[in-house]
């Protein structure tokens, strides 16, 4: 029996957040590949640190955090969920910061489109759910601003699903993130004045974990920001100030 208990402890051991040099990140699916690149560089310089991460939609990660999931750092795809965590007292104001500015693009690999406003009644258009996905919200704003009237608007539950709808040919065009189509053609740039900025914010949930805190700060350094921009994100408007002041208007 004792042996059996030891076995269970041994199996569970990697999951315990015992040391201060290991932590877990909950990352929005759209930022996952960028995070992997950053982690590769970061961990090469910090061999003692161990970082695990889980990716998913910001909404479901938020739900998990709300119910006590063991994440120390949350990289959301927008500012809504970090703000909500702060409002619920699960996050201190000075540990919330914008780490990336998302860019919305229109991807139409096969349709004869050169501009978003050419979308007409022969196009099946895919967007992420405007109520939950930040890029979906931005897409809805563009659709309204240009008064686009496609044949049909399909909702994916994330921009990853929108990408799949378009890649499989079931949708002619889709609004997704620049970071998803860095190496693909037929990407149409969208005027940034047509949608409210997509502020991807992060939340440091356990400031007493020094490794997590170091990495939170690292993401705002020029070195990390350069990688983030190379992966299809925009320059931060006011990176760390907002985190320090905590006075960003919604």
Least CB distance from residue 169 to another protein, whole Å? Answer: 4
> Applying CB under 8 A, does 63 fall inside the site for another protein?
yes
Residue from the set 76, 155, 200, 231 that interacts with another protein by CB under 8 A: 155
Which one of the spans 15-23, 43-51, 148-156, 174-182 is the region binding another protein (CB under 8 A)? 148-156
CA atoms within 13 A on the CB side of 248: 23
Binding of residue 150 to another protein (CB under 8 A): no
**Which residues have C-beta within 8 Å of that of residue 202, sequence separation ≥ 6?**
73, 74, 75, 76, 82, 96, 97, 99, 216, 219
Rule CB under 8 A: is residue 232 a binding residue for another protein? no
152 makes contact with another protein (CB under 8 A): yes
Part in contact with another protein (CB under 8 A); list of ranges 147-155, 181-189, 200-208, 215-223: 147-155
* Residue 59 to residue 130: CA distance in whole angstroms: 12
Helix intervals (H) in 99-209: 134-145, 159-167
Q: What are phi and psi of 222, to 5 degrees?
A: -55, -35
Which residue among 55, 57, 72, 209 contacts another protein (CB under 8 A)?
57
User: Counting every residue, how long is the chain?
Assistant: 250
Residue ranges binding another protein (CB under 8 A): 57, 59-60, 63, 84, 124, 126, 129, 131-132, 152-157, 161, 164-165, 168-171
């Amino acid at each position: 029996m004792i042996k059996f208990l030891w076995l269970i402890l041994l199996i569970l051991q990697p999951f315990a957040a015992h040391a201060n040099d290991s932590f877990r990140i909950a990352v929005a699916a759209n930022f996952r590949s960028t995070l992997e690149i950053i982690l590769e560089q970061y961990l090469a310089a910090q061999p003692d640190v161990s970082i695990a991460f889980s990716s998913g939609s910001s909404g479901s990660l938020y739900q998990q955090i709300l119910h006590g999931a063991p994440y120390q750092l949350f990289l959301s795809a927008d500012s809504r969920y970090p703000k909500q965590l702060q409002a619920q007292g699960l996050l201190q104001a000075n540990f919330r910061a914008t780490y990336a500015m998302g860019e919305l693009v229109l991807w139409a690999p096969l349709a004869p489109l050169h501009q978003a406003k050419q979308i007409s009644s022969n196009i099946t258009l895919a967007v992420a759910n405007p109520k939950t996905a930040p890029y979906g919200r931005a897409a809805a704003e563009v659709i309204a601003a240009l008064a686009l009237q496609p044949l049909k608007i399909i909702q994916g539950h994330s921009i990853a699903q929108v990408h799949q709808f378009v890649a499989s040919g079931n949708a002619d065009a889709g609004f997704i993130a620049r970071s998803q189509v860095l190496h693909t053609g037929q990407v149409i740039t969208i005027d940034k004045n047509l949608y409210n900025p997509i502020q991807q914010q992060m939340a440091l949930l356990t400031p007493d974990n020094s490794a997590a805190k170091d990495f939170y700060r690292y993401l705002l350094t020029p070195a990390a920001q350069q990688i983030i921009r190379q992966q299809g994100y925009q320059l931060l408007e006011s990176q760390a100030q907002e985190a320090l002041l905590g006075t960003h208007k919604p």
